[in-house]
């Protein structure tokens, strides 16, 4: 029997192919930042609430919506429905990755507690220190991040 035709070898090849598909799925969904072992966009925070309440609000598993490979949680059905109608309006820029890191040409975690809305777009930053740095040149960092993001989101 040829080694590649053995049942265990075929199983390994099938597993490898399956893992390749999973890796491809992950790469496609990597545009949205989720914490390791989580599928929650914006760390489970209600992204509509940033606009309506002006602060981070935790979402509930009772009000969820799937978009771009992530699960988005909301504090109310009304917020979930608003997001479902226009996710690009409410979702954080750069998929919830750190806005400052994107301006520097790389992706890093975005912290939903370090945020700001600028010209109708929600931006998250890695931590309070990075957020302070980002605020020193918001327009310039947004311009640079917008330029880098098409390449970063494809990685």
pLDDT tens, residue by residue, 7-20:
443 333 333 333 33
pLDDT for residue 4 is more than 60: no
Q: Of 76, 66, 71, 15, nearest to 43 (Cα)?
A: 71
| 79 contacts 63 by C-beta, under 8 angstroms | yes
The pLDDT of 105-131, averaged and rounded, is 97
The SS3 call for residue 53 is coil
> Once rounded to an integer, what is the mean pLDDT over residues 131-150?
97
User: For 19-67, what is each residue's pLDDT tens digit?
Assistant: 333 333 343 346 899 988 889 999 999 999 999 999 999 999 999 999 9
Q: Are strands 111-118 and 60-67 parallel, antiparallel or unpaired?
A: unpaired
State the average pLDDT over residues 100-123: 97
* Rg, the chain, Cα only: 19
As a whole-number percent, the residues of the chain with pLDDT over 70 amount to: 81
Average pLDDT for residues 128-146, to the nearest whole number?
Answer: 98
**Mean of pLDDT over the chain:** 85
pTM (two decimals): 0.81
């Amino acid at each position: 029997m040829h080694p590649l035709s053995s049942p265990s070898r075929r199983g390994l090849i099938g597993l490898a192919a399956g893992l390749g598909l999973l890796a491809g799925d992950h790469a496609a969904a990597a545009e949205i930042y989720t914490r390791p072992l989580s599928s929650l966009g914006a760390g489970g925070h209600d992204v509509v609430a940033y606009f309506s309440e002006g602060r981070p609000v935790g979402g509930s598993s009772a009000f969820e919506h799937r978009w771009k490979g992530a699960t988005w949680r909301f504090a109310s059905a009304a917020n979930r429905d608003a997001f479902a109608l226009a996710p690009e309006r409410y979702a954080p820029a750069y998929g919830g990755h750190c806005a400052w890191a994107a301006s520097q040409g790389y992706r890093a975690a975005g912290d939903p507690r370090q945020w700001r809305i600028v010209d109708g777009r929600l931006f998250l930053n890695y931590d309070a220190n990075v957020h302070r740095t980002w605020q020193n040149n918001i327009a310039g960092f947004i311009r640079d991040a917008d330029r880098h993001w098409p390449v970063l989101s494809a990685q």
